[in-house]
């Protein structure tokens, strides 16, 4: 279930009296703003953009949303986030950010809010020969910082 110690949870009750626990996602609270940020940087960077919370894709621009929305992040992206590192593809190490989909990332940056990792912003490679640029890295970092600040406010 990917619930870690200290993760915030939402607690609901059903009409049948059942207690339902749902992992809280601050990025989901900003879904409209996250979608708008994805649209803008996708246009500026000329490649598809995905915005993740800690578990799955919450916003997508420049690609078929049905293909990506609600897909889980890969263990490789999880590890990158745990180390609080940004990534840009330079032809060496490849990052596949989505579990079960072999589309590589051009650039990725963690969304950090109040010192906690809350998600990631990722440029997807449009084809296998694409490389990440400084522009891709700068755009994902700027979007990640913006979303982190929005969560704090």
**For the whole model, what pTM was predicted?**
0.79
Taking residue 1's Cβ as centre, other Cβ atoms within 10 Å add up to: 7
Q: Structural domains in the chain?
A: 26-152 (3.30.450.40)
98 three-class SS: strand
Q: How many CA atoms lie less than 13 Å away from 58 in the CB half-sphere?
A: 25
The model's pLDDT over 9-47, given as tens digits with 9 standing for 90+, comes to 667 788 888 887 766 565 566 667 888 999 999 999 999
Query: Helical H runs in the chain?
Result: 26-29, 31-45, 65-68, 75-82, 134-152
């Amino acid at each position: 279930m990917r619930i870690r110690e200290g993760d915030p949870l939402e607690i609901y009750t059903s009409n049948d009296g059942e207690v339902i626990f749902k992992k809280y996602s601050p990025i989901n609270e900003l879904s409209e703003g996250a979608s708008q940020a994805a649209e803008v940087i996708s246009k500026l960077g000329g490649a598809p953009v995905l915005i993740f919370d800690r578990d799955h894709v919450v916003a997508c621009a420049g690609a078929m949303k049905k293909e990506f929305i609600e897909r889980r992040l890969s263990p490789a992206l999880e590890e990158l986030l745990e180390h609080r590192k940004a990534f840009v593809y330079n032809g060496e190490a490849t990052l596949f950010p989505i579990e079960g989909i072999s589309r590589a990332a051009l650039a990725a940056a963690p969304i950090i809010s109040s010192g906690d990792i809350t998600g990631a912003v990722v440029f997807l490679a449009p084809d296998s020969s694409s490389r990440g640029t400084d522009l891709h890295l700068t755009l994902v970092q700027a979007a990640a910082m913006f979303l982190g600040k929005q969560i704090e406010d």
